[in-house]
Chains A and B, each alone.
Chain A
Amino acid sequence: MKIGVCVKRVPDTETRPKIASDEKNFDLSDAKFVISPYDEFGIEEALKLKEANGGEVVLISLDSSGDVTVIRNGLAMGADRAIIVEGDGERDPYETAVILSNVLKEENFDIVFFGKQGVGHDYQQVPSILAEIMNLPLISVVVELKIDGDKVEAVREIEGGEEVVEAKLPVLISAQKGLNVPRYPSLRGIMAAKKKPIDKKSPEFTAEKLSWEVEKVELPPPRKAGKIVEGEVEEQVKEIISFLSDEVKII
């Protein structure tokens, strides 16, 4: 089984965002980078499929940073090889999907995993656009997956419940938390990752540009100072009650 996993290098979720001087981008010079956490569920599921059925797990990433550490981490978890499409800066979801579709078509995977979203920008668009471009079924927000021959059965998370979806390979899957518990790379895995191939490609953008542009990014306004009630307990209670009933009107 030939399994692809699209992974994105993103700033660690604990990063405190700083806005770059052009006010359109983030200044990430101090940030620590990781694989987008949802993508890790994709990698884990891919590795489990490979362990059950044999085959190959290939990581694909569109990334212009030149830093391969994050991809190595995925190889250390157990993926066999990686393809990095080196871009020339941030791409919007449509451009990303077009560029990735060229790699996916070339590789001809039986199944391709994504995270349900890439943390940071959180567009949640790439898998859907790709499915459209490639004319393949996409099962999104998957929390359980069974594959038997070319039969696919997936459980999706939906508002207030779950939905069971069936499809046939080839298929695209976007992973949600709960699908599995991603493994840690073992030391032997880390040593082996050093020798695994990382193929670097330049982006091929083969479509009409449909994009939008980021006008401006802003941080949310700083929180206003809280209100401190003082005095005797009874007075404090009265003050809190009048605040809740008169000012915020919730009681």
Chain B
Amino acid sequence: MRRFEGVDFVESDLLLTEEEKLMRDTARKFVEDKVKPIIEEYHRGHRFPIHLVKEMGTLGFLGSNLKGYDFLPGISNVGYGLIMQELERGDSALRSFASVQGALVMYPILTFGSEEQKSKWLPLLASGEKIGCFGLTEPDFGSNPAGMKTTAKKVGSHYILNGSKMWITNGSIADIAVVFAKLEDGNIGGFIVERGMEGFKQVEIKNKFSLRASDTGILYFEDCKVPLENKLPGTKGLKSALMCLTQARYGIGWGVLGPAMECFHIALEYSKERIQFAGKPIASHQLVQEKLVYMLSEITKAQLLSIQVGRLKDEGKAHFSHISLLKKNNVKIAREIAKLSREILGASGIVDDYPVIRHMLNLESVFTYEGTDEIHTLIIGHRITDIPAYY
């Protein structure tokens, strides 16, 4: 099978800078050397390859588009997207890790944190010495986080947190959790909860059929004592949490191009080699070509959308509904492409000799988290009609 060298039908590489291409190629090399050889083993073992975290930190992959400190690379949003794409070509678990660490932990600390919180945590998170997670979803509140039941009550020099957060990426391995809870006045505020704090418990969720190489956990707060200085002072209601989600969703929109391109590449190569009927490769059948062309068309459109939204984001002009379109469209087509690729591989597509079924299963989580496909439809619908239709 020919080596993967990206998919670029309309020369959209021409829209990238020299540095952006170099960043992508570096991330691709990292994934080829360090991720590809081990990932099936971690997937089978339902384990997160935690040893890769520090190396990702050294390369600058954690929070790479954030600016303001020497240790933050501050690269363009397209460069950041390309790195996410390459990491997710390795496995959605790695991209999920990088999304959470950068967009859901470093970003809120940078944006809403105090000077002390920033100088204490950002260097450790950027280098991968410390791992973070983001707790918004609860057992009873997913798509509608506004209903959250976790509370934070101010008592003396502490906030006392009660409640739980579920489906939390990095939940059981995290050193710190950025957690959103309802304050006594009914507003929502953000907190940094540290591993080992009194009343804080982290439990891993087992038996997943998707994102098996990612750590997903439940966070329990039982009269959990969080010092006052651990509140993120800049958080102002649910909007602050949603701002974090916009950052992460942007990276997801790019990330899924990785599995989409890989699944297309494998389907194309496989269909040229696999012989069925009259000694002809299956790629010679019109029905197979139709699938391949569909995949390529969708990848090409998604690439152009990603670059445009990335450039808008650099200019500060990306609206969150643009990012909803990016997340919704790209995840949907990636999921569809993974499924079609699996079909083309026939029985070979159901074993992990090829990464296709692993990507296919991973993309189920990606379809659901960070706003399901339906929720993004409602966000875009709201924007164009000016009528909210969430309930």
Contact = CB atoms under 8 A, between A and B. Distances in A.
Given A190-B26, A191-B75, A184 B59 contact: yes
A190 B23 contact: yes
A96 B152 CA distance: 72
Given A32-B5, A191-B73, A185 B26 contact: yes
Interface in B21-50: 21-23, 26, 29-30
Contacts of A188: 60, 73
B1 to A, nearest CB: 12
B341 interface: no
Interface residues of A, number: 16
B73 A187 contact: yes
A76 interface: yes
B353 interface: no
Interface string A184-217: 1111101101100000000000000000000000
A14 B29 CA distance: 14
A30 to B, nearest CB: 11
Given A14-B3, A32-B5, A184 B26 contact: yes
Q: Is the interface of A mostly helix, strand, loop or mixed?
A: helix
Interface string B7-24: 000000000001101110
Given A14-B3, A187-B59, A73 B22 contact: yes
A187 B83 CA distance: 10
Nearest to A188: B73
Contact of B64 (A68, A76, A187): A187
Interface residues of B, number: 20
Contact of B19 (A14, A32, A190): A190
B58 A185 contact: no
Contacts of A69: 18, 21-22
B61 interface: yes
Interface of B is mostly: helix
B349 interface: no
B18 A186 contact: no
B163 interface: no
A70 to B, nearest CB: 10
A182 B58 CA distance: 14
Nearest to B29: A184
A72 interface: yes
Contacts of A186: 58-60, 73
B74 A191 contact: yes
Contacts of B64: 187
Nearest to B61: A187
Interface in A151-196: 184-188, 190-191, 193-194
Contacts of A187: 23, 26, 59-61, 64, 73, 75, 79, 83
A184 to B, nearest CB: 5
Contacts of A185: 22, 26
Contacts of B74: 191
A194 B26 contact: no
Given A69-B18, A190-B22, A191-B73, A184 B30 contact: yes
28 contacts: A14-B3, A32-B5, A69-B18, A72-B19, A73-B22, A76-B22, A76-B26, A184-B26, A184-B29, A184-B30, A184-B59, A185-B22, A186-B60, A186-B73, A187-B26, A187-B59, A187-B60, A187-B61, A187-B73, A187-B75, A187-B83, A188-B73, A190-B22, A190-B23, A190-B73, A191-B75, A193-B19, A193-B22
Given A32-B5, A187-B64, 15 more contacts: A14-B3, A69-B18, A69-B22, A72-B22, A185-B26, A186-B58, A186-B59, A186-B73, A187-B61, A187-B79, A188-B60, A190-B26, A190-B75, A191-B73, A194-B19
Interface of A: 14, 32, 68-69, 72-73, 76, 184-188, 190-191, 193-194
Q: Nearest 5 pairs between A and B by C-beta?
A: A187-B60, A187-B73, A188-B73, A186-B60, A186-B59
